[in-house]
Amino acid sequence: MTGAMTGAMTAEPTRVAVIDIGTNTLLLLIAERDGAGALRPIVDLCRFGRLGKGLDASGLLADASIAKSLDICREYRRVLDDHGIAHPRVVATQALREANNAAAFVQPAEQVLGATIEVIAGQREAELAFAAVANTLVDLAGTPYVVVDVGGGSTELIATDGRVVTAAISVPIGAVRLTERHLRGDPPAPTEVAALLADVDDRLARDLAALHLPSGVPMVGTAGTATTMAAVHLGLVHYDAEAVTGVRLSPDAVFAMFARIAAMPVAERRAVPGIPEERADVIAAGIAIYARTLARLAAPAMIACDRGIRWGLAYEAVAR
């Protein structure tokens, strides 16, 4: 009788599946809410489709990137089937917001996944990033901070008073876009590195001028560049999401990491513990965005958070 009553009073687990289709990666998260209300990952996969390769120059998704990303969608469909999930929630960001031929990927991908792909605006992307951080770094509740989500094609900046979003913007600079635009040498020439930093500074100055972002408060970095930086800082040979979440890097440490990695050939970067092989060619540009944003906001530290917009969507789904 006691067991039956306990079972009746305990909430049934809620399972959600979300896919985040970005400029560089496609992410699959299957998470489950247990009886205590905590959301825990069942599957958390990252694959590199590089959907936005060449997009900055051409305005188009490349055929090879479409094909590779569709292969990843097929893999994810098999994983979803293995877990008995028919209809995941799927969002896409900058590459599909921008590409003139986005339908060439979206239509077949929707057929493969059995779901509608929601191409979300930068503001929505920012809100999901904040939701993920607020539900993960709960010690920051009630204190102001800024969330910065550096992706392949865009960067979202979100200010919060520790309770709600007070300002947010999506800036069209990202690790893939800026690498293709500036860092053509291997390793990049000093003039290329200088041009990259100048581009980031100019874009931040223009886009943040009218936005009231607080200065001198912690900056939380989400998405792959930030977690890679934390993994490099820890010297992780094997990625550990829990280990990197909460890692603090000073502005000096971030810029030193940028200078060191930007001076390396790509092959040498791949040998650095913490840098995934598929991210090695674009990681320097991603770190540059964090370094210059830290400087502009006079932030005392960057705090890494593994849980990005895929988690924001998952938290939103279970709350409904």
Q: Which CATH architecture has domain 122-310?
A: 2-Layer Sandwich (3.30)
Determine phi and psi for 149, rounding to 5 degrees.
-115, 100
Average of per-residue pLDDT values in the chain = 92
- CA neighbours closer than 13 Å in the CB half-sphere of residue 106: 17
| pLDDT per position as a tens digit, 262-282 | 999 999 999 999 999 999 999
Domain with CATH 3.30.420.150 in the chain: 122-310
| pLDDT per position as a tens digit, 291-309 | 999 999 999 999 999 999 9
Question: With contact defined as beta carbons under 8 Å apart, do 127 and 168 qualify?
Answer: yes
**Mean pLDDT within 12-23:** 86
| pLDDT per position as a tens digit, 34-84 | 777 788 999 999 999 999 999 999 999 999 999 999 999 999 999 999 999
Show the tokens assigned to 139: 């010690």
Is the bond leading into 265 cis (omega within 30 degrees of zero)?
A: no
- DSSP for the chain? -HHHHHHHHSPPPEEEEEEEE-SSEEEEEEEEE-TTS-EEEEEEEEEE--TTTTHHHHSS--HHHHHHHHHHHHHHHHHHHHTT-S--EEEE-HHHHH-TTTHHHHHHHHHHHTS-EEE--HHHHHHHHHHHHHHH-GGGTTS-EEEEEE-SS-EEEEEESSSSEEEEEEES--HHHHHHHH--SSSPPHHHHHHHHHHHHHHHHHHHTTS---SSS-EEEEHHHHHHHHHHHHT-SS--HHHHTT-EE-HHHHHHHHHHHHTS-HHHHHTSTT--GGGTTTHHHHHHHHHHHHHHHT-S-EEEES--HHHHHHHHHHH-
pLDDT value for 13: 52
Asked if pLDDT for residue 1 goes beyond 80, the answer is no
Q: What percent of the chain has pLDDT over 70?
A: 96
> Would you place residue 256 in the very low, low, confident or very high pLDDT band (cuts 50, 70, 90)?
very high
Q: Write out the CATH class of domain 2-120.
A: alpha beta
Domain with CATH 3.30.420.40 in the chain: 2-120
| pLDDT per position as a tens digit, 158-190 | 999 999 999 999 999 999 999 999 999 999 999
**Mean pLDDT within 242-249:** 96
Q: Hey, which of 25-39, 121-135, 149-163, 184-198 has the most confident mean pLDDT? A: 184-198
Closest CA to 261 of 283, 279, 276: 283
Three-class SS state of 285? helix
Question: With contact defined as beta carbons under 8 Å apart, do 91 and 309 qualify?
Answer: yes
Asked if pLDDT for residue 6 goes beyond 70, the answer is no
